[in-house]
Amino acid sequence: MDRTLVDFIKALRTAEVKVSPAETLDAMHAIDIVGFADRQFLKDSLSMVLSKNTEEKAAFNTCFDHFFTVEKFDSQLDDGSLDDASPDPMDGGEFDSSEQQSGQQGQGGSGGGGGGGMGEGRGEADTTEDTSLQPQSALGQLLLSGDKNELVISITEAGRAVEVNQIVVFTQKGLYTRKIMDHMGLRELQDEIGELQGQGGNAQINLAGRLKKARDLLRERVRDYVERQFFLHADATGKQLREELLRKVKLSNLEKRNFKEVQEIVFRMAKKLIAIHSKRRKTFRRGQLDVRKTLRHNMQYDGMFFDLRWKASRVDRPKVMAICDVSGSVSNYSRFLLMFLYSLAEILPKVRSFAFSSDLGEVTQLFEHSNLEDAIAKTLRDYGSGSTDYGQMFIDFKKNCMADVNNKTTIIILGDARNNYGDPKAEILREIYDKSKRIIWLNPEPRNSWTVGDAEMKKYAPCCHQVEVCNSLMHLERVVGNLLRSAG
């Protein structure tokens, strides 16, 4: 337990809670007295010993909850979407090149956590019943069992085995992701997938496809786990380095204690874009030489062309409508998109923002008359409850906003397109597409999840001018930067 406490105190120091060696000894004595039976009692006791003011207590509570709580495993591994998974003939079963390279550098940290005796006890495959064939590798059995708790425990134990708490810089994320998956038995799983594909039967091909899909989803969850461990344990010295990390990390993995820093970064990003895209252009940009004005203004110089005049064309600043899904699964992404867009008010004065989980509501005035945190909290409270219904959102938009859409309107939609198997109303999005200048859909989920379960991106994507994965501040900066560039 002493080692666990030391790791916890290291995480506290990373969270800017100052803990002295004497306070560390006091914490050890407190644990000896209160024990571990009552979690809340232990938390309160350590808080009294290790945190000194309101700000540190808030950071302590967040850090304690993340450090001593097994994370919920939110995935589609057991939602039935794997049953109809088909193998991708182009999928070689390998990680992307950057992760593969990182993994090769860290092979010494991988263990033999797999098992399952590939091929042992396996008779001739029954190709008439797809359900009759089960995975033989330990990781394959775990992935298709649907036991989320066991999967979380397996990831956590693998993380401890490869010492993920020693992560130092964000670029090690790929290395530790590979180490953890190797320790969980990735190699045995890859061997089994290759063997199944080699046999070529219907049942074997079907099982190989399900295992590939489960492997890819697991990889995303392990990456998220490593990111969270980085924010708990990494000694990110230097403000510039930490800000760079916050720009790259998934917004859903940021904690409340990072919001203030992120808001400052967003403000500076906005000022940077303002400097790039509106260097005293007023509302004009240089066009062709205006001969008549040039001659008239240079008569005082006896016809010498000292003062050239140009035909100016008015810059069409974009009229932007931002529609944000603020249901529980994407509320953090919506928070940062709204924050970013409102920081750009100086250069995008015509931004109108809307929020929905089912019914669509405009929140522009709310943000104009409230401070940012209060406005976001009220938006999430008023529009963030209920079941997600994109179809109803598009019906409301057509009824209340379609008249304001023209060939100068850019519409940004932020959401995962998960419609709970309802009518997606893609035909309304097609009408908006035909009438607007541009539709940009920003999806916080990885592309391999866009067709899983109740996701409707396959129907929405053809009705958009641009579809992007957007789950970090760096993505947001690039998208808005491109928007400004196309307008100016």
Does residue 247 lie within any of the structural domains? no
Counting DSSP H helices and E strands in the chain, the numbers are 20, 8
Instruction: Say if residue 344 is in the same domain as residue 464.
Output: yes
Does residue 13 lie within any of the structural domains? yes
Pairing between β-strand 360-362 and β-strand 352-356 as defined by DSSP bridges? antiparallel
Does residue 89 lie within any of the structural domains? no
Does residue 242 lie within any of the structural domains? no
CB atoms under 10 Å from CB of 233, counted, come to: 20
- pLDDT score recorded for residue 108: 37
**Cα separation of 421 and 273, whole Å?**
39
The vertex-64 CA angle with 63 and 65, nearest 5°, equals 90
pTM of the model: 0.50
CB atoms under 10 Å from CB of 150, counted, come to: 12
Instruction: Say if residue 345 is in the same domain as residue 407.
Output: yes
Instruction: Say if residue 101 is in the same domain as residue 152.
Output: yes
State the DSSP string of 399-454.
HHTGGG--TTEEEEEES--B-TTS---HHHHHHHHHHSSEEEEEE-S-GGGTTSTT
- pLDDT score recorded for residue 184: 93
- With tokens 């597409």, the residue in question is 433
Does residue 252 lie within any of the structural domains? no
Q: How confident is the model at residue 115 (pLDDT cuts 50, 70, 90)?
A: very low
Choice between 297 and 326, residue whose per-residue pLDDT is larger: 326
Instruction: Say if residue 273 is in the same domain as residue 422.
Output: yes
Instruction: Say if residue 299 is in the same domain as residue 381.
Output: no
Q: What is the largest CA-CA distance in the chain?
A: 101
Pair 359, 392: CB distance under 8 Å: yes
Does residue 104 lie within any of the structural domains? yes
- pLDDT score recorded for residue 69: 67
Q: Tokens at residue 164, please?
A: 């993920």
Instruction: Say if residue 273 is in the same domain as residue 418.
Output: yes
Q: Tokens at residue 5, please?
A: 């406490």
Is 70 exceeded by the pLDDT of residue 79? Answer: no
Query: Domain count of the chain?
Result: 4
% of the chain exceeding 70 in pLDDT: 69
Instruction: Say if residue 45 is in the same domain as residue 133.
Output: no
- pLDDT score recorded for residue 476: 73
Q: What is the CATH number of the domain that holds 464?
A: 3.40.50.410
Instruction: Say if residue 42 is in the same domain as residue 57.
Output: yes
Instruction: Say if residue 355 is in the same domain as residue 473.
Output: yes
Instruction: Say if residue 364 is in the same domain as residue 393.
Output: yes
Range of the domain at 193: 97-121+129-235
**Cα separation of 131 and 148, whole Å?**
21
Q: How many residues does the chain have?
A: 488
Instruction: Say if residue 156 is in the same domain as residue 37.
Output: no
Q: Tokens at residue 234, please?
A: 């990494």
- With tokens 């540190």, the residue in question is 56
**Cα separation of 353 and 320, whole Å?**
8
